[in-house]
Structures are given as structure tokens and as C-alpha cells.
Amino acid sequence: MSNSLPYSKKDVDYDNAKFRHRSFSKVITQSFLTSNRKRDCFSCSTGKFLLLLLIFGVAYLMLTHTSPGDVVSKDQTIGNRNSEGISITNGAGRLKKLWRRAPRLPPRLPPDAKGTNNGIGHATENRDARSMWITRKQKVKDAFIHAWSGYKKYAMGHDELMPLSHHGTDGLGGLGATVVDALDTAMIMGIDEVVAEAGTWIEENLSDRISKKGQVNLFETTIRVLGGLLSAYHLSGGEKGMNITHAGPKPAVYLETAKNLADRLLSAFTASPTAIPFSDVILHDSSGRAAPGGLSSTAEVSTLQLEFNYLSSVSGDQKYSLEAMKVMDHIKTLPKTEGLVPIYISPHSGQFSGENYRLGSRGDSYYEYLLKVWLQSGASRDSNTSYLYDMYKEAMNGVRHLLVRKTIPNGLVFIGELPYGLNGDFSPKMDHLVCFLSGTLALGATKGLTKEQAMKNNMLNFEDLENMKLAEDLAKTCFEMYAVTSTGLAPEIAYFHTEEYSEQDLDGGNKSSEYVNDIIIKPADRHNLLRPETVESLFVLYRITEDPKYREWGWQIFEAFEKYTKVDTGGYCSLDDVTSIPPHKRDKMETFFLGETLKYLYLLFADSSLIPLDKFVFNTEAHPIPIKLKS
């Protein structure tokens, strides 16, 4: 077959049968002439009579019957009247339609036959692509094993690994945060050995640590340690009353440890005079403590609810959920700017403090949990959390109205800040942290379904489509923040060229990037901490849009991590400067590299049935929590 044919042989057959124009009379005569039995019949008088009867019968049906295709909306009917001077429900018009040339549409191809010369070639291509992603997924698993091996060798039981000096460090309070953050990633990747090592460490050490350690941050401990324990409880079969993983302790161990921890964390709520909890807790005496300066971060107090709700659901004790949800109930009553909130809040007065509006540090996951807590409760308009979804939608309208801008010269879409409120200047600064928003926007639009399913179900309204568009534009910008640097890794913070703002000689170093003049990277912001937000959004966008470019982008980012952050003796390190080669290394492997970054990359390359987005919500530290709570 000629290569110039647009479709496969199968499609040409299909084309011959269905899309070549044939007149009405030809259809009738052909159907008789192509059948011997019918030809015999045609020669006898009974046959002629029957034929006439058939022709009149068909004509009658055409004139009187309204087919489902003719059922049009009021507006469409008016449109037809205006253009043709006749309603399409009119019989004469219908007769006219019989003779009108059918539009020549391209055949609808089965998904596995799109864009190839023949179905067989494409099947091979599909098989090749599938095996390529399986190989890439395995590379991410290997990276996780390498990261864990460094941690285990030099820092087991410490919060984090210092991969260059071969030490451990306890900047998160000394609860072995990497062990707990990494555990469910190992479960998802099916690495039983690590599940057993991490699980056994938790069983033997964590409760003791929880009762003896001192000051911890409520938010960090909740999202990493409590979230990790709860997800491990679910993934290991806790709700089914069995151990699914066959490695590590019984799921009940994770739940008991989680309750022990949460009981102490509750003191941050009960010690506060308002619904807004203090930022810290002293674990050994179960007391809450305000941060120096007295203020809590807005994101921190509003990013506890998924974990506390789920704990209430599986423990049957409502006290956790009640305390955490009081925060949201209270924030609902506070004044906002088009749904946007300042990044500080006072636990003493219960009021927001200052007018710094941003979706980066201290603001980010407030917006994430507005959506996800509602999704967790079943995403119903009638649920008692639907006010959170309303707050989310209002806030996203506010983001689109007040914070979205485009760069010059190439029109990258980014989210800036209003550090001095609505009447102050706009700052074209975006933390890498803001890249979470792309995934959240897509999730909010389709509620975890694919875009195609959501469109089929007529679920996407105008705002959803706007949010979906922003999600895709922002993901592109976040990816370009990586591609624009010499190392292929993003800086912690980027600024963007706009009509009002420019800086010379502060590009990312990759002169071949199309966006080298759009993105500005200041010396103090050039570090990379192995953060997950961009690959998190690529994962969500791939699941929702099914566009393979998101996987390709994720793969490029993974390769850059491999090239510049892998430490031979075990583990991965942060970088001081992503714009210079070789980049200077920083002696720290953050817990979220195992808890989030590698997990999201693995899921990006894995089959979509693994932790499906309509069955799980990920807490802000990437610990999956099942949707649909038991009341």
C-alpha cells in the first residue's frame, strides 16, 4: 500500500464502506443488484410490487419519523431556520437532507491505530513505548533503592541523610522522618526488603521516640510522619484487617503509632485560645507552643485536615477530625481578597496577619487542601465540606484575575505575588513550590477523572476549562524552569521578564533554551533541594490529559537528577547552583525526595491503575489517602 494513504488498510476498507458518497437511488438499486436472491425476486411481478411497497415505505418513514439526530436544542433549531429559512423538523427539509452530500469525515480510529500507516506497525510501536516506560519506571525504582541504601548505611533513624559527609541530621525533631516518609513509596514500588526494614524500625523505635522527643513542627510532623503512617496503614491492608504487603509489621502497628503521635499533636490545638493551632508541639509533655513571633503560617494550619480526618475515620475517634476541621470552619468566616488569603495567621486573635499574598511558601497547600479535603469526603455538592470547594473555586478565580501574567518575549504563563496587598506592586516572582498548583487545578477540574471522561460526562464548565488551561500552561512554565538551566534542574525561585520588570545577565545558563530571556534566576535563588512539585504536577496532568509529553518532561528531569545529584556512596544531594557546571553539591537529602519526588516519577511512568486519582487523594507530602470516608 502506498505510504501516501492517510490511514491504514483497515481504514481504507472502512472508508469504502462508509464514507464514499453514494446517492439514495444507488443505495437502493445496489442492495438489490448485489444479491442473487434479490435479483430473482426483482424479475417477478410480486417482486416488483414488493419493491414499490418498500420504496414508498422507506420514503414515508423518512418524511414522518424524527430520528434522534434531529433532536436539536432550541438554539440550534433557530440557527437552522435563520440559515436555511426552514426548520429541520419540516418534512421537505428532511427530503432535501436525503439528497444532500454527507460530509466526508475522517474515520474514528481505535486508540491503538491512531497516526500510523498500519495497525500492526502501531501495535509494535505501542509495545515498544510500553516497554520503554517499564524500563524507565524501573530506573526510578533503582534510584529509590540507591537513595535508601545511602540513608540506611549512614543515617538510619535520623531525620535526614547528609550524603557527602556520611552523617545523619535531625532537623525535623528526631522522629526518623525519612524512614516514615519513604515507607509507602517502597510499598507502592513493591520493594519488600525496604518495607521490612522501615516497618521494623517503626515498630521498634517510633513510639518510644514520640514519647521522649522535644519540639516538633505541627505541620511538618503531620504531613510527613502522621501522613506516612496512615498511608502505610491503608496500603498494608489495615482497613481490610490483613497484612497485604507480607513485609514489615501488622498494619495495626502503624495505626497505633499514628494515634500516639496525633494525641500529642492535638495539644497545638487545645493550647490555643482560638481555632487556629500553635505552630509547634513539645512531644514529651504534650504541650503546644507558638512560633517565635507568635504567628502561624496559613498553609501550615490548613494542611492537617486530610490526615486528621482519615485518622478519625479509621480509629473511630472523631476528636482528631473535629479539631482539624475547626480551622477550616473558622477560616471560612475570615475576610479574603477574591478568595486569596495572607500567608500568616495569628493563633491568638484568630485573624490573618499582614497582606502578603502568594501561592509559594506559607501559602501553597492552603489552596491544595481546600480542594482535597472536599474530594476526600466524596466530592459531593451536598456534603458538609462543599464550602471548601466553593472557597477553592473563588480562590482560583482570584488567582487567574490577580496573579497570572505572561512573560516577554515568549509568553510563558506564571503566577506572581502580591507582597503588599491588592494596592501594592505585583512581584513577578514564583517559588518552585508554586508548581504544585498545576496538578491541583487539573484535579479540581476533572475531580480525578481523565479529561476525556469528564468531557463525555459533561462535567467541565467554563471555569473548569479555564483552570485546566492554566494547569497546562503552568506545567509548561515549570518544566521550562528546569530546561532553561545548565544542569536541567530548576532553581528554588524564579523571576520572569514582563513589560514592567527585567534584569540583565541573570539567565539559567542554557543558551539554547527558547526561554533563556524569559526566566531570571537571581544568585540567592539558584539552589535545588530535590523538590517534587513539578513532577507531582506532571504526574497528575499525565493521568488527566493522557498526553505523553508530560512523561517525556518527567523523564528529562529524572535524568538531570541522576546526572547531577546522585552520590556514588549512596543517596542524592541538593545543589547550591543549578546554573553552573559542575554544580556545587549541598550535603543534604531531603525526606521528600523519597516520599514525594521519586514516588511521583514512578507513578508518572506506571500504569494509571496504580493509585488512581479518583480513588485516592495525596496529602501534600504525597502520601495517598483513600477517598470515601467511613462516617
Burial class from Cβ neighbours inside 10 Å (0-12, 13-18, 19+) for residue 49 reads exposed
Minimum distance, C-beta of residue 187 to ligand DMJ, in the bound complex (Å): 19
Under 8 Å between Cβ of 327 and 270: no
Closest residue by Cα to residue 183 from 628, 534, 622? 622
Joined together, the cell numbers standing for residue 349 give: 486573635
Joined together, the cell numbers standing for residue 267 give: 495539644
Minimum distance, C-beta of residue 101 to ligand DMJ, in the bound complex (Å): 58
Q: Which residues contact 474 (CB under 8 A, 6 or more apart)?
A: 413, 414, 415, 434, 435, 437, 438, 441, 537
What is the spatial distance between Cα 151 and Cα 163, in angstroms, rounded to a whole number? 8
Q: Report angle CA 562, 566, 570 to the nearest 5 degrees.
A: 135
Minimum distance, C-beta of residue 371 to ligand DMJ, in the bound complex (Å): 14
Q: Contacts with ligand DMJ in 318-377 (CB under 6 A)?
A: 365
Closest residue by Cα to residue 153 from 623, 571, 625? 571
Which is nearer to ligand DMJ, 7 or 479 (by Cβ)? 479
Under 8 Å between Cβ of 392 and 370: yes
Minimum distance, C-beta of residue 491 to ligand DMJ, in the bound complex (Å): 13
Q: Which residue is nearest to ligand DMJ (CB)?
A: 620
Q: Contacts with ligand DMJ in 396-455 (CB under 6 A)?
A: 433
Q: Which of 620, 623, 624, 625 binds ligand DMJ (CB under 6 A)?
A: 620
Q: How many CA atoms lie within 13 A of 126 on its CB side?
A: 12
CA–CA distances in Å: residue 277 to residues 36, 348, 388: 86, 9, 19
What phi, psi does 605 have (nearest 5°)? Answer: -95, -5
Residue 139: other Cβ atoms inside 10 A: 16
Q: Which of 531, 543, 588, 623 binds ligand DMJ (CB under 6 A)?
A: 531
Minimum distance, C-beta of residue 375 to ligand DMJ, in the bound complex (Å): 17
Which helix (H) or strand (E) element contains residue 541? helix 533-545
Which is nearer to ligand DMJ, 464 or 536 (by Cβ)? 536
Joined together, the cell numbers standing for residue 458 give: 459533561
Q: Assess 279 for contact with ligand DMJ (CB under 6 A).
A: no
Q: Assess 592 for contact with ligand DMJ (CB under 6 A).
A: yes
Which is nearer to ligand DMJ, 245 or 537 (by Cβ)? 537
Minimum distance, C-beta of residue 595 to ligand DMJ, in the bound complex (Å): 8
Q: Which of 444, 532, 624, 626 binds ligand DMJ (CB under 6 A)?
A: 532
Helix, coil or strand: residue 617: strand
Which is nearer to ligand DMJ, 501 or 561 (by Cβ)? 561
Q: Assess 621 for contact with ligand DMJ (CB under 6 A).
A: yes
Which is nearer to ligand DMJ, 303 or 579 (by Cβ)? 303
Q: Assess 307 for contact with ligand DMJ (CB under 6 A).
A: no
Which is nearer to ligand DMJ, 433 or 489 (by Cβ)? 433
Q: Assess 160 for contact with ligand DMJ (CB under 6 A).
A: no
Residues known to be catalytic: 220, 364, 492, 533
Task: Please report, as a single letter, which amino acid is at residue 455.
Answer: M
Residues that bind ligand DMJ (CB under 6 A): 365, 433, 531-532, 592, 596, 620-621
